[in-house]
Amino acid sequence: MPTEPLYSVNDRSDQAENQRIQVAGCCTAELAAEVIGEGVSYLWSHALLGSMAQDLDGGVLAWRDLIDLCRVIRFDARGHGLSGTSGKPQDYRWDNQARSLWEVADHFTDDRIILGGASMGSAVSLHAACQRPDRVKGLVLVIPPRAWEWREGKAGGYRITANVVKYTRGLPFRLLGRVPFRQSESFRRNARGVMARDLAQVRPEGVVGAMRGAALSDFPAREALARLEIPALILAWPDDSTHPLVVAEELNRILPNSRLEVARRESDPYAWSGRVRDFIRSL
């Protein structure tokens, strides 16, 4: 477990290059993006209601531990973080977010890249790999969310959340942000605390779009994933109803060239950046 404070956006040993990239859709939007480091391009996608800043502050895959090995490209998805919120629900669908991902990737490189993501970001990465498999060198799939038959019933909950946020202008999140947050040995507890703090500043229209898009979304079909020969590292943990281990296990069964690692202790995810380094070196 790290003994120093959680990473801060303004506390970097190397300064990222920041860009704004216009992406297509029913409505165009400007996405905030950054690139930092040297080496093979590694494009990371954050979780639903997450952001680049949230990942950095929460220590997700410890970005400063990877920039000597990778050219890390990150971006805030439509409606998240510092990106634009314009769009219709289908613009926020995971397969369409994958198309925006490729617009970001093509802005920075035309080489083969490694795709990675947490939760929603892992689903977006899978869609992107199915769309352009020849461009993908490897996949890092962290805590995959509910999918296929395990996703039944989620759409209604997303729509309810979207309506509550729309009509209260995000009041539940502002109240949640008042709960004191203290760092602990638990990676999950720290990540939830950072998310709660950041959601207090969220733009309601972005949450509404993201939630309605998630209600329309799922993983690619099993048959499409079974055709991917891309090396994949799957990182998961048990006892999480939003990210059930059974989905990670099913992905590991379907993907022809994958490896699953399960965190059994609360502090184990702090070592995931090392697992990612080993995986990238093996490609």
Q: Tell me if residue 113 falls in helix, strand or coil.
A: strand
Residue 4 lies in a domain: no
Q: Is 147 left (phi over 0), alpha (psi -120 to 50) or beta?
A: beta
Residue 199 lies in a domain: yes
What letter would DSSP give residue 149?
G
CA distance linking residue 67 with residue 164, whole number of Å: 39
What total number of domains does the chain contain? Answer: 1
Residue 277 lies in a domain: yes
Overall average pLDDT of the 82-98 stretch:
96
Residue 60 confidence (pLDDT) above 90: no
Residue 57 lies in a domain: yes
Overall average pLDDT of the 25-52 stretch:
94
Percent helix, strand, coil in the chain, to 5, is: 45, 20, 40
Residue 7 lies in a domain: no
Residue 243 lies in a domain: yes
Q: What is the CATH number of the domain that holds 124?
A: 3.40.50.1820
Element of type H or E holding 169: none
Beta bridge partners of 31: 21
**Pair 119, 43: CB distance under 8 Å:** no
Does pTM surpass 0.75? yes
95-151 pLDDT tens trace: 999 999 999 999 999 999 999 999 999 999 999 999 999 999 999 999 999 999 999
What ranges in the chain are assigned the alpha helix state H? 52-57, 94-108, 120-131, 154-168, 171-176, 187-199, 204-215, 222-226, 245-254, 272-282
List all residues 6 or more positions away from 54 whose beta carbon is below 8 Å from its beta carbon. 46, 60, 81, 194, 195, 198
CA distance linking residue 29 with residue 58, whole number of Å: 26
Residue 41 lies in a domain: yes
CA distance linking residue 220 with residue 228, whole number of Å: 11
Average pLDDT of the residues of the chain: 89
225-277 pLDDT tens trace: 999 999 999 999 999 999 999 999 999 999 999 999 999 988 899 889 999 99
For residue 30, give its domain range: 19-282
Residue 13 lies in a domain: no
243-254 pLDDT tens trace: 999 999 999 999
For 120, counting Cβ atoms within 10 Å of its Cβ (0-12 exposed, 13-18 middle, 19+ buried), the class is: buried
> 10: pLDDT confidence band, cut at 50, 70 and 90?
very low
Structure tokens at 21: 């990239």
Overall average pLDDT of the 19-24 stretch:
95
Q: Kindly state the percentage of the chain with pLDDT values over 70.
A: 91
Residue 36 confidence (pLDDT) above 60: yes
